[in-house]
Structure 1
């Protein structure tokens, strides 16, 4: 079966708290103008289900156009981490429980079920389970191709806004740098990883997370899906 792993994009959708959300408008309507046309008036490259590539945190790193299309797909596994609590770090010990399932050159998807909470709440926006620095180093040692998570970011919340201070213990910037320096593509804000698991602790699939072919871009919304065996 094929499982859609992509959030629906909509006006003023839930997104990273310090970035502008999505805005678009219809400039023509078929009932009036004989055709319909939509113009996106505001969109950051990390809106909805999206990828991060090397140049996001690595000066002089590769941008989207520097990757082959094959870079954005591959065999891999979903790991059940839905038992992690709000704001909790995913540790090396957590990942080592699945040591034999994490294979060189493959995709690793982390299922926290945080996508089920996707709305404008303090919990969803700031307190998701996230990867720690040591866990990021562990994934680099496993020589994986890409890592994804069904939360706002692979790293935790470390910024400060009027309603919320830092949550993460590990630096999310360092988590990103460790992964991206190793040229591990990051996929964030996935949905439906639990559908791939289908009640199991692990499940293998072929994943696709194809971005827009943007020039000089460090990230992009993507259409992510999985072919489940």
Structure 2
């Protein structure tokens, strides 16, 4: 008897390399061989590798401790209690082609008028279309100019008591914004996923997302495997 998994699995995660776009000009990621096959003295030869990397790289999670001293770190976030596995919605604003576009409260209200009020503990994913620039790190970074989210949106999402947000840019905040989205959401114990891939593959409603960070004690950020589950 063949068992069929009841969901289509969509990988929402970018691969990581030394060329990955990042907030800084150099992403700081290196990947090298610690021991190579020819160096291995055992009968079976192994290649042993190591990495050096900042934790806020690629598709990654910001935990509350990222900007709130004493708040929850990555390993404090529980799969169930913090809704790392939860229903998700996709709010598509890719028709807004201005690189300076800031997602507004009206965008959320328009979505709710069509699909219903955001449910408690849902993961809200924003698709701006900026992901298309990922293969070009310089353009993706764009001197830290990219679509972002307004503080009014963050406040509305907190009123809806969402679990967290994701976006297909380097950050929901731009460099000159004062980081209000980070402050509001992380202070409220929510989580943020940045550099989401393939968000356009999800439906507006009805999907689930599973966020799996590296479980590094005291980490304030972590690369994640972000999975979409669609019936």
- TM-score over 0.5 (shorter chain): yes
Residues 14-42 of structure 1: per-residue CA shift (max 9 Å, x gap): 211266421110122336631111111x2
The answer on 1:121 being equivalent to 2:127 is: no
**Contact 2:21/2:141, CA 8 A, preserved across alignment:** no
Q: Which residue of 2 aligns with 1:35?
A: 46
Match for residue 104 of structure 2 among 91, 101, 109: 91
- How many aligned positions are there? 212
Instruction: Tell whether the 8 Å contact from 2:68 to 2:187 is kept in structure 1 after alignment.
Output: yes
Output the CA distance in 2 between the equivalents of 1:182 and 1:57. Answer: 12
The match for 1:60 among 66, 70, 77 is 70
Against the structure 1 CA distance between its residues 21 and 204, is the aligned structure 2 distance closer, same or farther, given a 3 Å change threshold? farther
Matched, 1:214 2:227: no
Deviation at 1:105, TM superposition (A): 1.1
Contact residue 12 and residue 23 of structure 1 kept, 8 A: no
Residues 181, 19 of structure 1: alpha-carbon distance in 2 compared, 3 angstrom cutoff: farther
Residue of 214, 221, 229 corresponding to 1:227: 229
Q: Which residue is equivalent to 1:166?
A: none
Distance 1:131 1:89 in 2: 5
Q: State the partner residue of 1:184.
A: 190
SS of the residue 1:27 aligns to = strand
Whole-angstrom distance in 1 between the partners of 2:22 and 2:85: 24
SS of alignment partner, residue 206 of structure 2: strand
**Equivalent residue, structure 2, for 1:76:** 88
Q: Distance in 1 between matches of 2:119 and 2:24?
A: 34
What is the CA RMSD across the aligned residues, in angstroms? 1.7
SS in 2 for 1:144: coil
Asked if 2 retains the 8 angstrom alpha-carbon contact of 1:86 and 1:123, the reply is no
Query: Do the aligned partners of residues 10 and 20 (structure 1) sit closer, same or farther apart at CA in structure 2, a change above 3 Å counting?
Result: closer
Q: Report Cα offsets for 1:108-132 as digits up to 9, x if no partner.
A: 1101121111122245432221111
> Is 1:49 equivalent to 2:59 in the alignment?
yes
Conservation of the 8 A alpha-carbon contact between 2:11 and 2:227: yes
TM-score, reference length from structure 1? 0.86
Q: Return the alpha-carbon distance in structure 2 between the equivalents of residues 132 and 32 of structure 1.
A: 54
1:156-178 deviation line (CA, Å, top 9, x unaligned): 232xxxxxxxxxxx43x221010
- State the alpha-carbon separation in 1 of the partners of residues 103 and 63 from structure 2: 21
| Aligned counterparts of 1:11 and 1:29: Cα–Cα separation in 2 | 20
Q: Identify which range, 42-51 or 71-80, moves more after superposition.
A: 71-80
Contact 1:87 1:156 in 2 (8 A): no
| Pick aligned residue for 1:141 from 159, 163, 169 | 159
